Amino acid sequence: GDSVTQMEGPVTLSEEAFLTINCTYTATGYPSLFWYVQYPGEGLQLLLKATKADDKGSNKGFEATYRKETTSFHLEKGSVQVSDSAVYFCALSNFNKFYFGSGTKLNVKP
């Protein structure tokens, strides 16, 4: 069945460091891919999305490229801020069902 695997955390970085959170997926057909972010005590918010191969989703300095050949959708940011501290979920949508990775907690220290 469809599934998402993402790197385990927590990830601890200093402010202005480069961020990569790895995500790979298994799916039939042509899924859409997403990154959601969850701040403490809140629900999930859509961070970015990509709907087809080679699409690049971007938002708030975060980027991820839909790589069908490697079934990956890695999240990157060139310079993280303390305010980026949160839990990040990689997800796919296929036939109106969502599948989530286990989440990666990011801690950014000043």
Q: In the complex, what is the shortest distance from the CB of residue 16 to another protein, in angstroms, rounded to a whole number? A: 29
Footprint on residues 68-87 left by another protein (CB under 8 A): none
How far from 32 is each of 4, 83, 87, CA to CA, in Å? Answer: 12, 27, 20
- Tell how far CA 47 is from the center of its chain: 8
Query: At a CB cut-off of 8 Å and minimum separation 6, what does 47 contact?
Result: 34, 35, 36, 37, 59, 60, 62, 75, 88
Question: Which range, of 18-26, 29-37, 62-70, 74-82, touches another protein by CB under 8 A?
Answer: 29-37
Q: Which is nearer to another protein, 36 or 73 (CB)?
A: 36
Question: Which range, of 11-19, 21-29, 67-75, 96-104, touches another protein by CB under 8 A?
Answer: 96-104
- Tell how far CA 75 is from the center of its chain: 5
Q: Is 32 in the site for another protein (CB under 8 A)?
A: yes
63: left (phi over 0), alpha (psi -120 to 50) or beta: beta
Q: Which two tokens stand for residue 43?
A: 């629900």
User: Residues 13, 34, 63, 73: which binds another protein (CB under 8 A)?
Assistant: 34
Q: Which residues bind another protein (CB under 8 A)?
A: 4, 8, 32, 34, 36, 42-46, 49, 51-52, 89, 91, 93, 96-98, 100-103
